[in-house]
Structure formats: structure tokens, C-alpha cells
């Protein structure tokens, strides 16, 4: 998940209980969203020489001296007055003047819509929620009904434009992503995909899709007067769906969406040749969101439970289990298992994780406080089942998709852990940034495993800017390298180790500040490259250089997605020999989800997880062993 805010930075006023608005439009504040958006600054284009200098600095811990010298030479040539760099920079600055955000469209295309790998594992993140206290269909249906009501409550704030604006360091943030996550779906294309959002269409959707035993249903969730169905009403409707989809031998049509995007693009065109299929697909795409009522998964020990749920969220467990119980192109899918497993999978193109977990936090809070309104039982029509005509060709596509998906499922190695020794309160008590503390620990864990530093990606929010998405914090720095090398060096004193740790943490926080203020290097370099492509000039040598390839090979792809709910987001690695690491730092514990590929002999999620735990504990120990006056 290369593209990946700042819930903790943005004091989430919306999460206070008063934020649960009534499902009526009395509070509508028309035009509020646009007025807010227009007040946001535009993403700056950083100065060229600044980026080139910083690029050289980030290469230091990951590139050999010899390669560095070669790269320095290329960068000097690129950046010289009147050179290629200057020309591209001017082009970028022109683009920045003419567009709302010089980066957002390029980013959407290159990071998502033109990315051809399956969205499953390679792009779509999952969210693992704590195990629910039910073990049967009754509990599953009741929970699903409340959850649907909770999401509709959140939707009211979006529709009414009353969603409280988030702030970061006193600055308001772009709220656009919240308006992209409902009633939205990715659509495959043979070369590039598109995302369609029905929120502003002439007839915005009033239904959600429910999928059970691979069968899709349209569930209307609003009454004719525009009020949402009550929890009881939704329950009744879900019962009807459940009872009419008891057979499990149906074709898992949704599994098609797990394919490589070109393959799926072709299969899609074939699928929608049939009018009934086209209408059914459109009903899924247009729905507000999808709820997947999953069959029970194989039981595992308590220790492995969260890791198993992570796989259920990321891929559904394979064609024998729940992978056919999805439409992976759908932006938002809530997953509720009959066995109490629960979570979310979302298609990444329209939004980053933080708005998704903000929605999850709201729903969880809503469900806690929701009173059961006993509604007059006006009979509601049977939810419509979506029909698919399966031709032999479609059947063949489904079989191919099953095979590919099962290979991907076997290849994914996920470990979810709860680090329970301390949470973000410990680094805070030491006047250290918790995020930087965790990132430095990750550097230490990796170094201990591989005896080298690697190119590391951490998502940084650009939402202080209009339509801002993310940039990259490069967590492997010269300071983190000095610390990880010193930590296990017996010739170094505790004081020296702590001094180096503090320096590494300060450097990380400084990079974070630079990134969230639009001054990091990765998106700027991408912009310069895209500008060269647009100008139809040859790609500058700095982008063909070995150093560039190494810098872009993120063995550690990481992200903090903080939530109030005791959950954790998870995603796959972005390179074959890498790790995906996502974490939710709570006050007294930290939830981690680490992924790797089984096909890579050098990676192992559980082992890195173990090393990370040791690194966090060792870092705490060197700090607390020091007399307070020496800190
Ligand atoms: N001393 C004491 N407390 C400190 C501190 C210090 N030196 N530095 C930070 N803190 C506090 C902060 O005030 C904050 O307090 P809070 O919990 O009361 O809000 C807390 O520690 C967390 O701060 P920190 O750990 O530094 O991280 P952050 O919340 O600023 O987040 C990023 C850092 C990089 C994660 C964030 O800026 C960001 O950009 N997130 C985007 C993530 C994203 O988009 N992910 C997408 C995934 S799809």
C-alpha cells in the first residue's frame, strides 16, 4: 500500500458522542464543504535544489559510496542552471498555478488506476476489528443491522455537510476523501481503471448490497419519506436475505474482481455484454456500500485469531471460503462472519485509511449508544436478488480467478500482534514522538534481521492542502543508521545509545514535519518524472539510475493508522521481498499488522514481529536504565 492522517493530529471532534446526528436534514449546512475546501492552501512545489540535496541525504544509509558518487554526478547535471531539472520544475510550477492540486490526478492514476496488479493484497487495505460476542446467525444479523444503521448515521453528516472539519497543528484539513468513500466503486479497464461515484448523480443510491453465500442482494435502506430504516427493520430484511441464500453451491461471481486488472478488464467487458449481468453489476457499483455476511472460517488458536481475521479481511480465505463473498472493486465493504469475526476491506483509490477508520470509530460508537427503536412493522418488500447469467466463457473466467486467488492466498503471510508492554504514553512521557519511536524500532528490528538498512516508506498526510493525499516519510535516515549500528555495539555506553536514539527520533519527526508541509522528496520527484513524460522528452537519467531503483524498492512499507477503536489496519507488502507494516498506537498498547510473502525465503512476518517487540523493549530499557538527569 504505497499510497496511504492524522486522526491523532486532527483532534477528531466528530468522534465525540455529540457528533451522532439525527437522520434528518435540519442541520444541513449547504455549501459548507465547498467553502471549506476553497479556503485550503494549494500544494506547493518544493524548490528543486532542496529536493536534490535531500534525495542525496536519504540515499546515504541505503546506497554504497561508489553508487552515491555516480548519483551525485547525475544530480549535479540535472540540477545545473538552465538544465533539464530547471525546465521540468518550471513546467511543474505552471501546472501548480493552473490546477487545484498539481499532484492529485497524477497520483491517482499512477498509484492506483494504472496499477495493474490485483487490488486484493496488493492495494486494498483491511481493518481487523475485535472478535464479536456471537457465534450464530442471529447475532450476525443483529450486528450487521446495527452496523448498517451506524454507517447511515455517518452518511447523514456527509449528506448534510455537517462532518466536523479535522485539524492538524491548528490547520484545517482537506475533507474531500470523506465525500468519496460512499456510493463509489472502481471499474476495471483493459489499460487503466476508473472510479465512479454516485453521490452527486441525479438519483443517488438508497440501497446497500448484501452478499451471503456468494449471492448479492439489493437492500433499500431508506423509507419513502427519506428516513433510514430502523435497526429492527434492517434485521427483518437481512433475515429474508439470509433465508433465501442458504445454498452455497453458487458461482462465486465476485471472485472475478480479485484478478489482475487487465484480465478482469477483459472479463468485465464479457460479463456485462449480458443485460441482466450489466444491471446487477451496476446495482453493486452504485450501492452506498456492501456488507459481506461471511460463512464461519476454520477455527484457530487465540494466538492466531487476529492474524486469521486479517487474512479474511484482505482476501476472504480463498475460493473455498469467503473470497467469492466480495466485490473487491467496491470502495467500502464491511465483513461480518457468522463466527463473530468482523472488519472492513476498502478499495484504496478514493481514500486513505484514516477517513475509513474514522467512519469505523463512529459506527462502533453509534452501536454502543444506539437505542433499539421498536418500529411499527410495516411490511417491506423482499430485497431484490441480483441475477447473473453465467455463460461458459464467464465460468472459465471464474475458474481462472479462483486459481489465481488461491495462489495469492497461499503466498500471504500475516501476523497481527498486540504489543502490550506499553503504548504511546511511554514515548510521550520521555518527550519523544510515539510515531518516530515506533519507526526507529522498526529500523532496529530490520537491521537486526538483515544487518543492513533498507528503503522505508511511511505515509505522511498532505491533507493540509486542497485534495491532498500523501507523501513519503523516509524512515531510514543517517541518524537511524547510526543508532541501529550502535544499539548492539558493546563498546557503546547506554548514554551514547540514548543520545543516538534521541537524534534518530528528532530526525524522523523533522522529516515528518517536512512531509506534511509538502516539502518531502518523493512526490516532487514523481512530478518531475511525470512532467518529462508530458513534455514528451526522454526520461532524465536520475530516474534510470540504480540508486533510484533501490530508493523506490521499499522493503518496509509502513503506515500509522490511529483509531479510537481497538482495531488495526493491514495491507500487503509492495515488493516481493518486503514487508507491509501497519500500526495503531493506543495509550497503553500498540496493535501491529505485519505482512510478507511466503514465496520469499528471506521474509517472515512473525519473525519481524518478534524482533519489533524486542526492539521496542530494548529501546525502553536503555532509556529507563539511565538516571533521569541524563536524559
Ligand atoms: N513529546 C510528547 N508528546 C509528543 C511528542 C513529544 N516530543 N511528539 C508527539 N507527541 C504527541 C502528539 O502531541 C500526539 O498526542 P495525542 O496522542 O494527544 O494526539 C501523539 O504524541 C502522537 O504524535 P506522533 O506520534 O508524533 O505522531 P502523529 O500523530 O503526529 O502522526 C504521522 C505522525 C506521520 C503518522 C501523521 O503525521 C500522518 O501523516 N499520518 C498519515 C497516515 C496516513 O495517511 N496513513 C494512510 C494509511 S492508508
Minimum mean pLDDT among 16-20, 107-111, 287-291: which range? 16-20
For the Cβ of 459 lying below 6 angstroms from any atom of ligand 1, the answer is yes
Grid cell of 628 as nine digits: 533521569
Residue 392 is assigned to a ligand binding site: no
Residue 289: Cβ within 10 Å count:
27
Find the radius of gyration of the CA atoms of the chain: 25
Is the Cβ atom of 427 under 6 angstroms away from ligand 1? no
- Confirm or reject: Cβ of 516 under 6 Å from ligand 1: yes
Q: Binding site annotation covers 560?
A: yes
Ligand 1 centre from 39 Cα, in Å? Answer: 24
Give the active site residues: 348
**Residue 518 CB contacts under 8 Å (≥ 6 apart), including other chains:** 43, 44, 46, 462, 464, 465, 468, 471
Domains delineated in the chain: 46-100+420-630 (3.30.559.10), 111-411 (3.30.559.70)
CA gap 12, 22 in Å, rounded: 19
Whole-prediction pTM: 0.94
In contact, 256 and 267? CB cutoff 8 Å = yes
Distance CA 248, CA 231 (A): 27
Q: Ligand 1, from 166, 430, 433, 506: best to mutate by most atoms within 8 Å of Cβ?
A: 433
Lowest-pLDDT choice from 20-29, 74-83, 153-162: 20-29
Q: How much distance in Å is there from the Cα of 10 to the middle of ligand 1?
A: 9
Does the C-beta of 4 come closer than 6 Å to ligand 1?
yes
Give the sign of the dihedral formed by CA 77, CA 456, CA 519, CA 481.
negative
The answer to the question of whether 621 is labelled as a binding residue is no
**Residue range 443-451: mean pLDDT, rounded:** 98
pLDDT-derived band at 374, boundaries 50, 70, 90 = low
Can you give the pLDDT at residue 170?
86
Tell which atom from ligand 1 comes closest to the C-alpha of 9. 29
Run of H or E residues at 580: strand 579-585
Note whether 212 and 293 are within 8 A (CB).
yes
Q: Write the pLDDT tens digit of every residue in 454-501.
A: 999 999 999 999 999 999 999 999 999 999 999 999 999 999 999 999
CA dihedral 277→279→280→286, nearest 10 degrees, is 140
Measured between alpha carbons, how far is 446 from 600 in angstroms, rounded to an integer?
Answer: 16
In short, whether 124's Cβ falls inside 6 Å of ligand 1 is: no
Q: Is 562 labelled as part of a ligand binding site? A: no
pLDDT band at 376 (very low <50, low <70, confident <90, very high): low
For residues 463 and 173, is the Cβ–Cβ distance under 8 A?
A: yes
Half-sphere CA count of 92, side-chain side, radius 13 A: 26
DSSP 8-state assignment for residue 436 = H
The bridge status of strand 290-294 relative to strand 332-337 is: parallel
To test the pocket of ligand 1, the residue of 9, 107, 111, 463 to mutate (highest count of ligand atoms within 8 Å of its CB) is: 9
Rounded to an integer, what distance in angstroms lies between the CA atom of residue 575 and that of residue 563?
27
Ligand 1: centre distance to CA 423 (Å): 13
Nine-digit cell string for 248? 452455497
What's residue 6's pLDDT?
A: 28
Cα separation, 559 vs 581, whole angstroms: 6
pLDDT band at 373 (very low <50, low <70, confident <90, very high): low
429 annotated ligand-binding residue:
yes
Each residue's pLDDT tens digit, 299-311: 999 999 999 999 9
Average pLDDT along the chain: 93
Distance 33 CA to ligand 1 centre (A): 26
DSSP E strands in 456-524: the ranges are 456-461, 470-474
Q: What is the maximal distance between C-alpha atoms in the chain? A: 78
pLDDT value for 561: 97
Return the closest-CA partner of residue 432 out of 513, 497, 509, 494.
Answer: 509
Between strands 556-560 and 579-585, the pairing is parallel
Residue 447 near residue 484, CB atoms below 8 Å = yes
Tens digits of per-residue pLDDT, 28-65? 777 888 888 889 999 999 999 999 999 999 999 999 99
User: DSSP state, 18?
Assistant: G
For 239-288, the pLDDT digits (tens) are 999 999 998 767 999 999 999 999 999 999 999 999 999 999 999 999 99
SS (H, E, C) 316-372: CCCCCCCCCCCCCCECEEEEEECCCCEEEEECCCCCCHHHHHHHHHHHHHHHHHCCC
Amino acid at each position: 500500500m504505497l499510497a496511504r492522517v492524522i486522526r491523532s493530529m486532527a483532534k477528531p471532534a466528530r468522534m465525540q458522542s455529540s457528533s451522532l446526528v439525527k437522520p434528518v436534514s435540519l442541520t444541513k449546512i449547504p455549501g459548507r464543504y465547498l467553502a471549506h475546501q476553497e479556503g485550503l492552501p494549494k500544494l506547493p512545489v518544493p524548490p528543486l535544489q532542496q529536493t536534490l540535496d535531500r534525495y542525496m541525504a536519504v540515499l546515504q544509509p541505503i546506497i554504497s559510496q561508489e553508487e552515491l558518487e555516480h548519483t551525485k554526478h547525475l544530480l549535479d547535471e540535472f540540477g545545473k542552471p538552465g538544465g533539464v531539472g530547471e525546465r521540468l520544475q518550471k513546467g511543474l510550477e505552471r501546472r501548480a498555478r493552473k490546477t487545484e492540486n498539481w499532484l492529485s490526478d497524477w497520483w491517482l492514476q499512477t498509484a492506483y488506476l494504472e496499477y495493474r496488479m490485483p487490488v486484493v493484497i496488493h492495494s486494498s487495505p483491511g481493518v481487523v476489528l475485535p472478535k464479536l460476542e456471537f457465534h450464530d446467525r442471529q447475532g450476525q444479523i443483529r450486528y450487521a443491522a446495527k452496523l448498517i444503521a451506524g454507517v447511515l448515521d455517518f452518511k447523514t453528516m456527509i449528506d448534510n455537510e455537517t462532518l466536523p472539519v479535522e485539524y492538524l497543528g491548528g490547520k484545517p484539513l482537506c475533507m474531500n476523501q470523506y465525500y468519496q468513500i460512499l456510493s463509489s466503486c472502481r471499474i476495471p479497464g483493459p489499460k487503466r481503471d476508473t472510479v465512479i461515484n454516485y453521490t452527486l448523480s441525479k438519483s443517488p443510491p438508497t440501497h446497500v448490497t448484501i452478499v451471503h453465500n456468494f449471492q448479492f442482494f439489493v437492500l433499500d435502506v431508506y423509507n419513502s419519506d427519506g428516513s433510514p430504516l430502523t435497526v429492527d427493520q434492517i434485521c427483518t430484511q437481512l433475515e429474508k436475505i439470509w433465508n433465501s441464500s442458504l445454498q452455497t453451491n453458487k458461482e462465486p461471481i465476485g471472485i472475478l474482481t480479485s484478478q489482475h486488472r487487465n484480465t478482469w478488464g477483459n472479463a468485465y467487458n464479457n460479463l456485462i455484454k449480458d443485460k441482466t449481468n450489466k444491471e446487477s453489476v451496476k446495482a453493486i457499483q452504485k450501492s452506498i456500500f456492501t456488507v459481506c455476511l461471511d460463512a464461519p472460517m476454520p477455527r484457530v488458536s487465540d494466538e492466531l485469531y487476529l492474524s486469521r481475521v486479517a487474512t479474511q479481511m484482505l482476501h476472504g480465505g480463498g475460493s473455498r471460503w469467503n473470497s467469492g463473498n466480495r466485490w473487491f472493486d467496491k470502495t467500502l465493504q464491511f465483513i461480518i462472519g457468522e463466527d463473530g469475526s468482523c472488519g472492513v476491506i476498502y478499495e484504496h483509490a478514493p481514500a486513505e485509511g484514516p477517513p475509513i477508520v474514522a467512519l469505523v470509530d463512529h459506527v462502533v460508537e453509534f452501536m454502543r449508544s444506539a437505542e433499539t427503536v421498536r418500529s411499527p412493522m410495516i411490511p417491506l418488500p423482499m430485497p431484490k436478488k441480483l441475477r447473473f447469467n453465467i455463460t461458459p466463457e464467464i465460468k472459465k473466467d471464474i475458474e481462472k480467478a479462483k486459481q489465481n486467488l488461491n495462489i495469492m492466498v497461499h503466498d500471504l503471510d500475516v501476523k497481527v500482534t498486540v504489543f502490550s508492554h506499553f503504548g504511546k504514553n511511554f514515548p510521550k512521557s520521555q518527550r519523544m514522538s510515539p510515531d518516530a519511536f515506533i519507526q526507529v524500532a522498526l529500523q532496529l528490528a530490520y537491521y537486526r534481521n538483515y544487518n543492513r538498512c533498507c528503503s522505508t516508506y511511511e505515509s505522511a498526510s498532505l491533507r493540509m492542502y486542497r485534495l491532498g493525499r500523501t507523501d513519503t516519510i523516509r524512515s531510514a535516515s543517517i541518524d537511524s543508521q547510526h543508532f541501529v549500528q550502535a544499539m548492539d555495539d558493546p563498546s557503546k555506553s547506554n548514554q551514547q545509545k540514548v543520545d543516538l536514539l534521541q537524534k534518530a527520533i528528532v530526525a524522523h519527526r523533522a522529516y515528518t514535519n517536512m512531509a506534511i508541509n509538502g516539502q518531502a522528496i518523493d512526490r516532487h520527484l514523481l512530478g518531475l518524472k511525470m512532467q518529462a513524460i508530458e513534455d514528451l522528452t526522454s526520461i532524465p537519467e536520475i530516474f534510470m539510475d540504480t540508486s533510484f531503483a533501490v530508493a523506490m524498492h521499499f522493503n518496509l512499507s509502513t503506515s500509522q493508522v490511529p483509531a479510537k477503536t481497538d482495531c488495526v489496519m493491514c495491507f500487503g507488502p509492495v515488493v516481493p521481498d518486503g514487508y507491509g507494516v501497519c500500526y495503531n498506537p493506543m495509550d497503553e498498547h500498540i496493535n501491529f499488522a505485519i505482512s510478507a510473502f511466503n514465496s520469499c525465503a528471506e521474509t517472515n512476518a512473525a519473525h519481524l514481529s518478534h524482533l519489533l517487540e524486542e526492539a521496542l523493549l530494548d529501546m525502553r530499557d536503555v532509556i529507563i536504565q539511565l538516571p533521569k538527569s541524563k536524559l
